[in-house]
Amino acid sequence: MAALTFAVARPVRVPRPKARRHVTGWAFVGPATLIVVGLSLFPAVWAFFISRAKWNGITAGVPVGWRNYQQLAHDPDMLAAARHTLLLTALFVPLSIVLGIVVAIALNQRIRLIGFYRTCIFVPYVASAAATGILASFVFNPQFGAANDVLRHLGIPQQQFLESPSQALYVIVLIALWGEVGFTTVIYLAALQDIPKELVEAATMDGAGRWRVFRHVTLPELRPVTVFAAVWQTITAVQLFDLIYTTTRGGPLNSTQTVVYYIYELAFQTQRLGYGAAAAYLLFVVTLLLTLGIIWYSRRRGSEVF
Q: What is the pLDDT of residues 164-211, one digit of tens each?
A: 999 999 999 999 999 899 999 999 999 988 888 888 778 888 777 788
Q: Which residues pair with 62 in a beta bridge?
A: 54
pTM of the entire predicted model: 0.83
The band of 115, judged by pLDDT with boundaries at 50, 70 and 90, is: confident
If you average pLDDT over residues 8-12, what whole number do you get? 51
The CA–CA distances, whole Å, from 39 to 35, 66, 249 equal 6, 25, 26
Cα–Cα distance, 182 to 3 (Å, whole number)? 74
- Percentage with pLDDT > 70 across the chain: 92
- The reported pLDDT for the residue numbered 298 is 78
Residue 137 C-beta-side C-alpha neighbours within 13 Å: 14
The band of 5, judged by pLDDT with boundaries at 50, 70 and 90, is: very low
Cα–Cα distance, 6 to 10 (Å, whole number)? 6
The band of 214, judged by pLDDT with boundaries at 50, 70 and 90, is: confident
| Model confidence at 54: pLDDT above 60 | yes
Residue 135 C-beta-side C-alpha neighbours within 13 Å: 11
* Average of per-residue pLDDT values in the chain: 85
Indicate the angle between helix axes 259-268 and 273-300, nearest 10 degrees.
160
- The reported pLDDT for the residue numbered 127 is 85
